[in-house]
Structures are given as structure tokens and as C-alpha cells.
Structure 1
Amino acid sequence: MARRLGRATSRFTEETQTCHKRIPAFAVWLCFCLVFPPAAEAGLYSPSDQIILLNPENVESVLANSTAAIVAEFYASWCGHCVAFSPVYKSLARDIKEWKPAVDLAAIDCAAQQNIKLCSAYSITGYPTLKFFHAYSKADSKGEAYKAFPRDVQGLRHRIIDKLENQEPWPPACPPLEPTSQAEIDSFFETNNVQHLALIFEKASSYIGREVTLDLLQFENVTVRRVLSTEQDLVTKLGVTEFPSCYLYYPKGNFTRLKVNIEARHFYSYALQRLPGVVRSGRPPLVHIDHPTNSTEEPWRPFNRSRVYMADLESTLHYSLRVELAAHSVIRGNALVSLKKYISVLTKYFPGRPVVMNLLRSVDSWLQNQSGGEITYEALRKILDNSAQSPDTALPEGVRWVGCQGSQPHLRRFPCGMWTLFHVLTVQAKSTSPRGTDPKEVLSAMRNYVRSFFGCRPCAEHFENMARESMVEVDSTSSAVLWLWSRHNRVNNRIAGALSEDPNFPKIQWPSPEMCSACHTVRDNREHKWNKEQVLPFLMSYFSSSRILTDYLEDESQVLAKQREAIAAQKHGERRAREALDSVTHLLPSQPTVQEEEEEEEDEGTQDETMADEEEEGGEGAPAADEMGGKTSEPTPWAKPEMELGRGRQRAHNRPSIVGMRMREPQEDIVDLDSFVNQHYKAKALRLAASSRVKQRTLQRKVEQEPGPVFGLGMEMDAGLGMVGLQPVEADFDLDVGRQRKRLQKRELIGQYYVEEAELSHRGRWMSVLSIGFSKVDISLCVILYCLSSMCLVAMYLFFKNRLRLRRAKVSLP
């Protein structure tokens, strides 16, 4: 047995040593995985880039038999040229987003282990490789490779158009891209039911007409046709002198020139998409809100689209702090750090009203004083509701959307408010923060809040991807303002046309040319370019605190009044619950045993005789009391021994200390509600309990009590509440000498009883601790059993010791 145990111990030691050797290797492997994540996670693109991510499971469904043409990039995540090309490919995806029904972009990481065979099947030998797959390509098609493809968005866009024009079969969603003629225009409205026909006049080498045609692919009630400068009939009829230029052609030969700031693709597309009656395919037409109500439950509030409203900012704070945070019952760890930074940034830069700023400062101070690693939302909610009733401190309850209201209850609102809030904070940080301030302070707070608390988790993931990708480039407060603006436009581009887009407020690249014409310009190649030197002043002006409108705001006095009413209602509810609990507790009288009742009756008789003696002897030993209140400054002498000994008898606090004073009835007109409830209802409950106990004693009494002073019914219970002193009903009564001696003897016996009880309790304290309620017989049995068990153990020890000695002796024999 010993040898077996020895082998087991040895094997366990070897396994332990092996585990210790494996721990460093595992730590190195874990660090390697963190620094170099798996290829599937280390790809250059994500779903938020509007690029289809190919893998062995979906490659066939995407590339084969598709109704749209597909441009696919085959790359390796470790390839430096692929990394450099990825921003261009992402920009291309955003640029041709409206072309999706006709052409879409895809990408596959050939460095991923699961994609190696797939890339080999498509004959990929170098990275990056672009391939064009025609619509309805066969399953075994390997695509057409772009040779020496350009590394800029415009060049790639033109190569895609060339492939579209030369492919067969034609994608069903793709509009015609060839030039039109005079004859087709004359009969156009006879065969087409559209509201607007846009003619783009350009030279043969220009791509603007075809690009705008594809830009309007997802819109109804408008058609774009390309007209070459060599089409003399139309050029002469419309009087075209500039190329490119755009004209709107209507039935009966009516036409007008489209007014744009710059004759370029971006300006044409934007202006045509905003024509009356032009909507996205499959979306309801625009609702012209000229009436006082909309489809939401709230009345429509007319507003200026070029201004920011404080009502939106306060509504955003309410929803953020009282709705989104409420989803987290306990906030701990990184989430708590994010909350502290979020509130700190709001306290520093939010341009709110004094009452709101007082509340934010109160919340920030409370959070900074929390030293623990977690908080409960209930505790935070009390600070938000100003339960301490600090003066001029409140955050309005509820939401009141103005500039962020939508045509439907599920459109815009809180997401719009969040973007507006953080734009305002970045502008305020640039305007008010001193030099040396962290330029990413607001952006980091926004990023952490979205990551920890924003309810739309896919939205939070997309924002985190954008922040991880480029927020490191922010090095000043000006760049922080522009970074947030550019990422907001990127999000607008991604969700344009989605179900979350409000048709009355389409997602555009903001600001529009009408709002800030100087913000838009073009490069030498006629590509659109943002003039950031003009965008920054526009943002600083648009989100400036001095231009925020206070329309539709609830008055501060009304906000404070509602807060007081809410707190009062809450306290009233708590008080009612407490009163109900107290009344139930006090209305349940304890049922004394017959022996306790007889002892209490004897004590009451002794008490009556003793008090009568003291009254006859001049009240010796009774302290003076206030005649109006009937209160004493110290306990009565006979009550002191019982309190010191801690006997725990309920009758100790029921004995009055002074005789001869009539008890004052409880006041019913007390102003303090708490004391009124505690005294009024408690007194009634105690009186009811006392009456029930008196009735029980009357029924169970065996010997009629001797005549004596009769007291009021509520004496004992009221005396327990601190109201001492009663007026006897019969004031004039005489006692004979025998009865007086009897009382004196009883008093002496009571004194001796208290002294003896104190001595016995002192001597029996240790015995009660040791015995814990057991009798002497029980203790004796325990001692005997303990001795027997000890003797048995000794006998067993000697027996096995002898057996072991004999066995060893036998083994040693030759």
C-alpha cells in the first residue's frame, strides 16, 4: 500500500512539473494570439465597410448566378500593398453605394487558413488581385482579372463602368448607359411614366453622365440619359453651350436647366435626388408636414432645420441617463469608468441651463466619490432625481424632440440626439478648453459610452471599428471636431436607404450645398472634395452654444415643481407602506400564558399598594414631574434594578413613575405628519391591545382583587410610550394599619427578591454558557461517553501496534 501511494505521489509530482512547464508556453501562445489574431479576425475589411466578406460558405452564392456584377478583391492581410490599397477600396465601396443593384464589391483574405484552397481554385498567385464577375456567372467561372488596375477611386470607378458596358448578359437592374438621341427623347414620355427626365450633355470621353445614371439607380420618378455634344439637334434645341451641363426635359418640349453650384457629378446627383416626387424605390413618398400633428403620438413641432435645439439635448440626456443606463442594474469595471468619463465631459462642456448643470455637477461629484469598484443604478437614480432636494437642481423628465423628431415614432429621435450632443461637446471643447487639454477627451468619452451602454449593439460595433481605425490620427481639438463630422457622414452613407432612414430627413453628406456652398469644391479631375477650411468654421458656428434655440423648453420653475411633487409622492408612498406595516405589527397582541398573567396581576397589586404608601408618606423617592406633560427626567427607582439586570419583561416599561398626575391625551392636530402617524395610530393600536388583555385577565382571574384605586384603560400602554402619571378615579380612600404592614412586608420581600436574583444571575452566568440549556444529567452522560470513547481509541491503538510488530518479526525470519 505504501509503495502504491509512493508511485501515485511520484506520478502526481511529474504531472505537476509538466503543467508548470506548459504554463510559460501557454502564456507565450496567448500573447501571440493577442498581438497577431487569427486571420479571420485580422482581415482588412469589416461588414461596416459595405463590402461583402467572402468565405467558403458564401462564395458560390455571391459570385455564381448573381443578378448583379461583382468586383472581388483577393488579398493577403500580411501584404503591405494590400494594406495600402484597403483605404482606396473602402472609399470605392462608399462612392458607388447607390450602384448596388447593378454592381457590388466583395473581398476575401487568402491568408486565412480556411480560404487558402478557395483562392487557389480561383488561380490567385499574387496580391492584391481584382476580378470582375459578370451577372449570372457560372459556378466554375474564375472571373476576369483587372490587369494593372488604378489605385484611385475615380480610375477604379471608370474601369467598372467599362466592364458593365461590355458584359453579357446585362444586369437586369442596370439602366442603359449608351448615349441617347433626339428621336428617343421625343417618344420618351409615351413609353415611360416618370416625372423628371434629366439630360446630361457631355463629351464622348466623359463618364459623368453614366456615373449620375448609376447614382440615381435606386430612385423613382426620375430618369437620367446621357447626350453627347455631337447630338446637334438636341444641343441646338436646348441651347447648350457648356459641357458638361444638365437639363430637365418635360412633355411637350418644355425644359429648364438644373441649377447647381459646380457642374460635376456629385452636385448633379444631389440635386436630382432632391427633386419633388423623387423617392427611393420601395419607400413611401415624402410626407409634407404642413399640419399640426403627425403620425406620432406627440404634436408636430415646427422647427428650423439649420439650428440646434436645447430641447433635443435635454431629451438626449434624459434618455441616456434614465433609460439606457437603467438597463444596467449594477455598473462596474470598465463600464463604471466609462460612465465617470461621460458625466465628467458633460459637466465640463454641456452648455445647459443652470438647473441642469447643477444636477450634472451633483452626479459627477457623487461618482468621483465612489471608491468601490461598482455602483447600483438605484443609487444613481436617486442622485438623478435629486432625492436630497438640493436647490435649483433638476433634469427634466421625459423627452421633447424638436429638431430630432421623426415622421414615425421609430425614426430619428435618440440617435439623432446623440450625434447632436457629441457634436456640441466637441465644439465646446475646442471653444473653451485651455491649451494642453487632451484633444481626444470628448471622443474617448463618446467611444466608451457607445461601447458600454449604447443599446444598438451593431451600431456600437460599427462605431468601435471606425474609432479603432482612425481615431489615433486626432491630434488637436480642431481635428476632433472634423473627425466626428467625417465619421457621421460615413455612417450617413452606410445607412442611406435603410429602413431606419426617415423619408422626410434623408441621409445625406452634410452639410448640403444649400446650407454651406463654400464647404464643397472639386479637384482638378472634377471629383468632389470637401473644403475643410470652410467646414470647420461652419461646424463651430452651427453647434455654438450661442446659437442653440430654447424653444419648446419647459420652464425651470415648472421642472422644479414637478420634481418636488414627484419626491413628495414617493415619500408619501413610502410613508403609507411604513404605516401599514407598523399598524399590522402593533395590532397583533402577544398572548401571555396563565402563569405570566397571574404574576403580572400580583405585581400590579403590589405596585398599587406601594404607590399608595408613597402617596401617604409624601411621595418619598418620586422625582418631580412637569404638570403639563407628566414627564419625568429619570426612570423610577423601582424600575432601575429591572433595567440593569436586563430581565426583558414587557411590564418594566409599562409602570408609571408618578401618581397623582392625569395623563394628557395624544394630540390629534400635530403638524408633523411622521410624529402624528407614529403617536396617533400607535396609541390607538396599543389601546386596543390593552383592552383585549384586560378582558382576558378579567375572565381568567380566580380571586377577586381587593378594592383599590381604579386607573384608566390605557395606563399601561401609554406609560410605555413615555406618557407617565395617572389620576386615580377614587382620590379619597383609607387603609388600615394591618394592610399598611402587609404592604411594607411585600416591599421588603420585593427588594430581597431583586438582590437575590442579581446574585443568582451573576453566579449562573458561566453555568448557562457552559450548559447551553442542558441539565446536569445530560452533562454527566456526555462526560462518561467521552471517557469511554477515549479508552476505545487507546485500546485500538495498542492492538494495531502489536499486530504490526508481529508482522515485521515474521518478515525478518530467514
Structure 2
Amino acid sequence: MNQSRFRGWNESVWRGCVTLLRAVFWSGSSRWTGGGPVKSALAGKLDGGKVGSSFVAQRWKLAARRPTVGQLQQPGPRRKMARRCGRATSRFTHEIEKCPIKISICAVWMCFCLIFPSAAEAGLYSASDQVILLSKENAAQVLVNSSAAFVVEFYASWCGHCVAFSPVYKSLARDIKEWKPAVDLVAIDCADRANMKVCTDFGITGYPTIKFFHAYSKPGATGQPIRGFHRDVMWLRHKIIDKLETHEEPWPPACPPLEPTSQAELDSFFETNNVQHLALIFEESGSYVGREVTLDLLQFEDIAVRRVQSTEEALVTKLGVTEFPSCYLYYPGGNFTRLKVNIEARHFYSYALQRLPGVVRSGKPPPVIKDVHINSTEEPWRLFNKSRVYMGDLESALHYSLRMELSAHPVFRGQTLTALKMYISVLVKYFPGRPILMNLLKNVETWLKQSDEEISYDAFREILDNKAQSPDAALPDGVRWVGCQSSQPHLRRYPCGMWTLFHVLTVQAKNTGSRDSQEVLNAMRNYVHHFFGCRPCAEHFENMAKESMTEVNTLTSAVLWLWSRHNRVNNRLAGALSEDPDFPKIQWPSPEMCPSCHMVRDNGEHRWNYEKVLSFLLSYFSSSSIVTDYLESESQILEKQRQKHVMQQQALETHERKAREAVDSISQPPPSEPAMQEEEEEEEEGPQDEVLADMEEEGREAAMMEAKPTPWSKPEMNEGLGRRRTGKPSIVGMRMRELPQDIVDLDSFVNQHYKVTALEMAAARVKQRSLQRKEEQEPRLVFRLGIELDAGVGMVGLQPIDANFKQRKQLQKRELTGRYFEEEAEFNQKGHWMMSVFSIGFSKLDISLCVILYFLSCMCLLAMYLYFKNCLRLRRVKVALP
């Protein structure tokens, strides 16, 4: 919560507590007359220093000045007022008198619940503030036996002074961020019940309290208090340096020496230190600039900083120093040169020294300085001007945002849909894009306004890709980074493009005179909150927005707010793994880009010239300053979009055609069955050419095939109980009687015999017809192989063929067809009731008969066994004993 809201909450809590306690203390109980022990105890707690806030003491003094019950019982105007009050609140007073102790306890407990809210709601710091949050769990791990020194703030979230001091402490954390790991900042909320024991162990009696803990502190150490602190970052910074200089042994290993250097040390410096640059800060004896710059360069390699006091006459005379402070670069052999900066101050020294050739942050590879090079993505390096904004970065950011990042949300509804509409609306109003892109964004905005309460990303993507083929409307597909290029594909790029896009939108809103000062900022905030893929980044941005975005009330303040928060993020991410060594994160704009934007106060502290910064931002992000290099022409973009639509349509048609072919192949009969039908028709019409073949050879083949039955073809039905298509299997030399179809295992037949049957029947058809014609020409008694299943077991045998065989065969086929369809219908209704054994089916009745017969046989055998056993027993000879 921001400071103003927290102050209002604090005032309301105390007013409520005082009013509630006053009602309890003024109850008519004689045991609590005059305030009693509760008021005295609370007064002693507050006045005794247990709560060291003047705000608390003032509120309690105001409450203590109220008249007590004993005073109200005195004669005079006060007693009359009490009587009037008693008549007005007689029922309430009577109820309080019934149980004053319980009500008093409840009142005090309610006050403490209001005063000490949960840490999640009342904490003054978060992870994005670069302050280590201390708790009961990590207190010993952080402070005890650590290689770094710590500055710890013990605060209470309800304390008004703590709330007012929190922005100063956050600024201090950002200011000395480069001093890690020599010294770090810590904070702990003592108002949290879980942390109260930790604060008590460190001897905390008032808030806020700041203590300094040396490196390698032992268990039980309570730290050194920093007394009389002010709400000034520079004063706190100097106090930390004083504590470091008086640090006891062992010295923090990461902290460089802070004492002044001498000529004797410099003579042997490069023999004992392997660095390329040595910076000498000449200053007066009471100056802190040299020590601050030394700590600012702590995280950088290949450079060392030493301070030289003005009293070191040998060095001052040798280098010809006349100004204090001033910075000189000292090299082996006694060579030196003065460091050129705009202003002789700490900030300018640190910035210039960090960007010397060869100076890199610890653990970072040196930057690649080349005009043309190939990065890891094998894309050619695009030369660009660092002082300009490129439209390629803006369009690439839009492409990734709309086509990639939003695709993670299949459906937009509620707050996400509102955030999307706000984002598109701001783009339509203030994005300085090309006509084809603006036409597309307008189409998207119109479609979103007409949409329902819920839309899918697929529908949004169709509008985004211009599936309706609106004229002169397209969003360039793909990314083409220019100013946001990086040395590695996972660095900069999209985050850089989004920051640039948001800066351009705020400046365009300022230049066009928008009526809503927070329109762009709210759209940004909602987009980052709901859609930005980096969730910790979104959380940090939301924390910054909650902290101070409510103070933005003009378009100018909106531009400056976004710029200051961008610099805060750069400060937090400087030195992180996400920092590109070719593009280090700095406080932007740099002194080279905008010298007039940087100033110093009378005490030498750096400050921004906000008027110059605003002028620079309005010029840098202006639509007239955006460069259109490396962009595809609008005609090329439209042609690519048209080709993309044609390819998608062709792919869709191909897919539909394949689907239709698959459906047709399922609905059409197998190719072997029409051929079999045609062969049957040819068989009825007359003999074919193959009838004239050698009869003797066919007779021998017929004899060989005589005992081998041909597998049956599967009968098929169309929709319902339609026409059945079947072939006429035969064996050369004999005609086989149709097998009843109700005992055929259809599934087993389809899987095992369908293809084999089709091939065998097609091969045997010719011989069958020729042999049939030969038999008709020479009438004689012919035997055929009969395969039929009667009631139970199938009987295989030979049956004679008479003259009326063909007619009986047709009648039998009709009978079998009817039986087949009746059994098929019963099969569909009752489920599977057939089984397959060696490709010959047995019905349920057959199996039942077999079981019954088996059972009867067993019973007969048992009866015979018992009968013969009884007979043998009767015939046994009995031997009489003498």
C-alpha cells in the first residue's frame, strides 16, 4: 500500500482503538474507576519506550486527557454531561456493567489485531526492492558467520515513522547495489508475530532501529546501532562507510581497502596486482568520493580504485593535481592521464570507469566490439544508431505480443478480455505505425467491441491474420530486431521491444493531448499483469505500480514515471544473468546521450534535471524520430499474407479431400466382391474361352482338389438388412453345398480369411466354370462334397447330384439367406453368443447339448459302476471259521 493510504489506515485504527477503550474505561464499574490497571498498564507500556514512535505517544496522550469515570462523578457540569450521556446510552452502559472484564479483554484483543496485521498485508518491502527480507527461519543463516557485512532495519509495519522511512531505505538499497557482496541491506518486520522473538533477541525496543552487523558475526551478536539517523541516503551511505572502516578482523573478503594510498604503494602496485587500469581519486581528507567510487567498482574486473588525499604532496606534485576531487588513470612506468567527465562527482566517475576498455563485470564475458558480426542465431548483424528508435523493433514486439504471448491464453474472459481491449485500444490511438498495420489494428478493435463476453484466441488469431482478406491490412509476420539486437538469442529483444513500445505510447499520448493521464499506464499495467510471460517480472512491475502510480495525474508525470521505473528495473537487473555484456544496463540516458540531464547538488550528490529529461524523452520517442530501416515494403507484406492464405486454403482442401476419400473407402464394397459378382454373371451366361483348355490336365487338378474345401466368403449387408452379396465357392470336379451362414465367425473370418478367400476364389473361378460346362455336356452321376451342420455336430460327406440340383441349390440359398438375416438380427440384439473353433462355428444350442450328453454319460458310468460293485459284493464267498 502507498504511504498516504497507510497513514489513513493508521489514523483510523488509532481512532477506533481509542474510542473502544474509552467506552470500556468509562463503564460504570467501580472496579475500573479512574481508568484502572488497564489504562495504567498501557500508559506505562507506551510511555516507557516499548513503542518508540512519537505518533503512538501523541495518540495515547490525547486519549489520556479524556476525563475518567471518577472525574465524571464529581458535581458540576461534568456530572450533568455524564447523566445526559447516561440517558442517551443507558442500554449500552447497562450491558457493559454486566461483564466489564470480558468486554475489556475483547476490546484490547481487537485493538491488537488491528494494530498488528499480518505480514503479507503490512510488509513495507518486497523482493523487488533489493532488500533481503529477514524472518525467524533465515535470521541465523543470514547474519551469523557471513562473509558480508549487513545493515539491518528493524521496523513495525504499523509504525508511521517506519512507513515514512521505507522509501529512503529502498533508495539506499538501489544506491549501494554495487557494494555487494561487501555489504548488504536487510529488513525485518517486528510487527509480524512470527518475528517478534527474533527482534526481542536482538534487543529491539523501538522502531525503526538500524543496526550494523560485522562480517563473520558470532551467534548471539546483537549488532552495532546507527543512532541519530536522518532520512537522507547520503548520510546513511557515509555511516555505512564509517562502520566498514572500523571493521574488526576478519575483514570482509570482498571489500577492497578503503584507506588512502601513498607513492610507495603505487611504485610496486602493478607488480602485486594484475589489472589493466588503476584509477586514483584525489580528494580532501573529509571527502567520501574516493571510498564510494572504490565500492562502486567492487563488482568489476581489470580495474582498481585508490583514494589519494590532498596531503600526499609527492603524488599531487607528480601528477600536477590542482582540483579536488579529480580522477587520474595511472599505468605502469609512471604514465598517467586525467579521466574526462562532465562533472567531478561520484556518479560520473563510476560511470566512466565502468566503461573503460577491458573493464567488465565479474563473471561476464567481455563485450564483442565489431561493426559486422554473426550472432548465435546466424542472423546478420544490423548496424544501427543507439540514439534512435527503430520501427522494426516496434513491429517485432507487436508480432510476438499478439501472435505468441497471447496464444498462451486459449480463452479471453472477464479481466483478461478487458485488458486485451484496453491494450488494442491504446495501440489504435497512439501507435505510430504504417497504414497497413493501423488498418489491421482498427479491424481488431472493431471486432473486439462487437464480441461477446468470452472469445477464443483462435477467433482472435483469424482476425489478426486477416482471414477475411480486408484490403490493405496486415501485421508483419516474424521478428526483425534492430535497436534491440543482442549478442545471444535469449538476451534483450522482446523485453527491450516492449519497453520501447510503452515509451513510444506514453510520449504519443503526451504529444496528441490525451485526456486521461493514466490511460497508457493502465493498459500497460493490465497487459503485464495478465499476459506478460515472465511472472516474476510482472509481479515486480505490479509492486511498482501499486507503490506510486496513483500519484500520476498529468501526461508529463506519466512519461517521467515510466522512465524512472525503467531505470529502477535497470538498476535491479544490472549484473544479472539476463544482462547482455554488449549492452549493459545503465541509468538511462547516459551522460554521453544527454549531458544536460545530469546534475549534482551542492553536496556533490547526483540528481536528474527532470526538465531536460522530459525534453529528451519527447524528442527520442517522437514519431518523427522513428527510423524505418530494415523494414519490408507494404506490398511485400501483403503478398506474403496472400500467399499464406492460399497455402492454408490448399492445405484445407487437401485435408477435406483425404477425409472424403477415407469415408468413401469405408462405405464402398471391397474390390474383390464386384469382381466375384461379375464372374457369377458370366458363369450363368455361358462358357468362356478357358472351357476349350486341355480337359485331361483339368481332370488331374480336379482330383487333387477333391478333398479340399474352399473357404467361404463373408456375406455383407448394406444399411439395415439389405441385399447380401456373396460368391459361389466350388472345388474343381465337385460342387459344394452352401454352408449355413449362421455359424460363421465374422470377426475371425475378416481378420484371417478375407484376403485369402478373395485370391483363391478368383484363381479357382475359371477352372470351376470350365469343369461345370464339361459335366453338363456329359451327364452322369456326380458326387459333391457336402459340408453342413445339422442339429449339433457337422457331418461331412459326398452327395449325388441329380438334374434338379441347380433348382434345389437356389431354393436352399434363399432359405439360408433368410436364416442368416434372422440369426444376425438376434446376434445384434442379444450380443455375442457364438464362438469359433478351428474356423467351424458351434452354436449355443450345440454346446448345451454337448454338455448335457457329457453329463448323462457320466451319470450312466457312475450308475454302472455302482451296479457292478453291488453285484460283486453279493457274490463274494464267505468263509466260515471253525
TM over 0.5: yes
Which residue matches 1:183? Answer: 264
How do 1:31-180 residues align onto structure 2 when only pairs under 5 Å count?
38-169=118-249, 170-180=251-261
Distance 1:284 1:590 in 2: 69
RMSD in angstroms over aligned alpha carbons? Answer: 2.3
1:418 aligns with 2:498: yes
> What does 1:290-309 align with in structure 2 at a 5 Å threshold?
290-309=371-390
Aligned partners of 1:461, 1:81: CA distance in 2, in Å? Answer: 27
The match for 1:363 is 444
Match for residue 246 of structure 1 among 308, 320, 327: 327
**Secondary structure of 1:293's aligned partner:** coil
Cα shift at 1:151? 1.9
**1:447 equivalent in alignment to 2:528:** no
Q: Which residue of 1 aligns with 2:649?
A: 571
Q: Give the distance between the partners of 2:620 and 2:658, measured in 1 at CA.
A: 57
* Counterparts of 2:448 and 2:113, CA distance in 1: 36
In the alignment, which of 519, 522, 527 is matched to residue 605 of structure 2? Answer: 527
Match of 1:283 among 360, 364, 372: 364
Report the CA distance between 1:463 and its aligned residue.
0.3
Q: 1:590 to 1:649 in 2, by over 3 A?
A: farther
Distance in 2, Cα, partners of 1:553 & 1:37: 56
Show CA shifts across 1:133-159 (max 9, x none). 000001110111111122200000000
Alpha-carbon spacing, 1:463–1:33, altered in 2? closer, same or farther (3 Å): farther
Contact residue 410 and residue 458 of structure 2 kept, 8 A: yes
Could you say what secondary structure the match of 2:627 adopts? coil
* Superposition deviation, residue 580 in structure 1: 2.1
Q: CA deviation at 1:368?
A: 1.1
Unpaired runs of 5+ in structure 1?
A: 1-28, 592-647, 651-814
Matches within 5 A, 1:439-588: 439-588=517-666
Structure-2 separation of matches of 1:423 and 1:589: 63
**What is the CA-CA distance between 1:74 and the residue it aligns to?**
0.2
Post-superposition CA distance 1:268-322 (Å, at most 9, x none): 0000001000000111111113334222331111111110000000000000000
SS of residue paired to 2:358:
coil
In structure 2, what residue type is equivalent to 1:459? Answer: C
Task: Tell me which amino acid in the other structure corresponds to 2:646.
Answer: A
What is the distance in 2 between the residues matched to 1:33 and 1:543?
50
CA distance in 2, matches of 1:487, 1:35: 32
1:339 equivalent among 408, 420, 430? 420
Alpha carbons 2:400, 2:494 under 8 Å: kept = yes
CA deviation string 1:623-677 (max 9, x = no partner): xxxxxxxxxxxxxxxxxxxxxxxxx999xxxxxxxxxxxxxxxxxxxxxxxxxxx
Distance 1:34 1:130 in 2: 26
SS of corresponding position for 1:424: helix
Q: What is the alpha-carbon distance in structure 1 between the residues aligned to residue 248 and residue 416 of structure 2?
A: 55
- Deviation track 1:379-420 (CA, whole Å, cap 9, x = no partner) reads 000011000000110001111100001001111000000000
Give, in angstroms, the shift of residue 459 of structure 1: 0.3
- Distance in 2 (CA, whole Å) between partners of 1:140 and 1:297 is 58
**Alignment counterpart, residue 395 of structure 2, candidates 295, 314, 335:** 314
Check conservation: 1:311, 1:552, Cα contact below 8 A. Answer: yes
CA distance in 2 between counterparts of 1:111 and 1:589 reads: 77
What's the CA shift for 1:40?
3.3
SS at match of 1:252: helix
Q: Does structure 2 retain, via aligned residues, the 8 Å contact 1:200–1:247?
A: yes
Moved more, 574-583 or 539-548: 574-583
Q: How big is each residue's C-alpha offset from its partner over 1:227-266, in whole Å with a ceiling of 9 and x where there is no partner?
A: 0000001101110000000000111111111000000000
Relative distance call for 1:589 and 1:422 in structure 2 (3 A) is closer
Q: Aligned ranges for residues 364-763 of structure 1 at < 5 Å?
A: 364-372=445-453, 374-434=454-514, 437-588=515-666
Q: Match of 2:635, SS? A: helix
1:438 positional shift: 0.9
DSSP-derived class of the 1:223 partner: strand
Structure-1 separation of matches of 2:341 and 2:409: 50
CA distance in structure 2 between the aligned counterparts of 1:346 and 1:353, rounded to whole angstroms: 12
User: Is residue 122–residue 158 contact of structure 2 (8 Å, CA) maintained in 1?
Assistant: no
Of residues 230, 233, 236 in structure 1, which corresponds to 2:317?
A: 236
Q: Distance between the aligned counterparts of 1:147 and 1:476, measured in 2? A: 40
Q: 1:358 to 1:34 in 2, by over 3 A?
A: farther
Q: What amino acid is aligned across from residue 480 of structure 2 in structure 1? A: R
Partner of 1:329: 410
Task: For residue 154 of structure 2, give the secondary structure of its aligned residue in structure 1.
Answer: strand
Which amino acid in 2 is paired with 1:491?
V
Tell me if structure 2 keeps the 8 A contact 1:522–1:528. yes
In 1, the alpha carbon distance for the partners of 2:230 and 2:643 equals: 69
Seen in structure 2, the aligned counterparts of structure 1 residues 588 and 62 have a Cα distance that, compared at 3 Å, is: closer
Secondary structure of 2:120 counterpart:
coil
Distance 2:529 2:182 in 1: 35
Q: Distance between the aligned counterparts of 1:589 and 1:370, measured in 2?
A: 42
Aligned equivalents of 1:37, 1:451: Cα separation in 2: 26
The separation in 2 between residues aligned to 1:366 and 1:139, in whole angstroms, is 66
Q: Take 1:37 and 1:77, find their aligned partners in 2: how far apart are those partners?
A: 8
**CA offsets, 1:573-615, max 9 Å, x none?**
1111122222333455578xxxxxxxxxxxxxxxxxxxxxxxx
Judge conservation of contact 1:75–1:107 (CA < 8 Å) in 2: yes
What is the one-letter code of the residue matched to 2:656?
A: R
Q: Using the alignment, how far apart are the partners of 2:444 and 2:134 within structure 1?
A: 48
Q: Measure the CA separation in 1 of the matches of 2:335 and 2:178.
A: 29
AA aligned to 2:654 is R
Quote the offset at 1:331 in angstroms. Answer: 1.4
Say if 1:286 and 1:503, in contact at 8 Å, map to a contact too. yes
Q: TM-score, normalised on structure 2?
A: 0.63
**2:636 corresponds to which letter in structure 1?**
Q
2:632 aligns to what SS in structure 1? coil
TM-fit CA distance, 1:187: 1.3
Take 1:185 and 1:308, find their aligned partners in 2: how far apart are those partners?
46
Please give the alpha-carbon distance, in whole angstroms, between the structure 2 residues aligned to 1:363 and 1:114: 52
Looking at CA atoms only, which structure, 1 or 2, has the larger radius of gyration? 2
178-187 or 288-297: bigger deviation: 288-297
Partner of 1:204: 285
What's the counterpart of residue 715 of structure 1? Answer: none
Distance 1:114 1:40, change over 3 A: farther
Contact 1:308–1:543 (CA<8 Å) still a contact in 2?
yes
Alpha-carbon shift at residue 97 of structure 1 (Å): 0.1
Matched residues in 2 for 1:514 and 1:418: separation? 24
Instruction: Supply the distance in 2 between the matched residues of 1:377 and 1:295 (Cα, whole angstroms).
Output: 32
Q: C-alpha displacement at 1:113, in angstroms? A: 1.0
For 1:40 and 1:120, the matched residues in 2 are separated by 21
Counterpart amino acid of 2:438? Answer: M
Shift of residue 80, structure 1, vs aligned partner: 0.3
**How high is the sequence identity, in percent, across the aligned residues?**
73
Give 1:344 deviation, angstroms.
0.4
Residue 185 of structure 1 aligns with an amino acid whose one-letter code is L
Structure 2: give runs of 5+ residues left out of the alignment.
Answer: 1-108, 670-719, 723-882
Among 206, 213, 226, the alignment partner of 2:294 is: 213
- Asked if the contact 1:69/1:171 (under 8 Å) is kept, the reply is yes
The 1:391–1:36 alpha-carbon spacing in structure 2 relative to 1, beyond 3 Å, is farther
| Other structure's SS at 2:151 match | strand
Query: 1:259 and 2:340 equivalent?
Result: yes
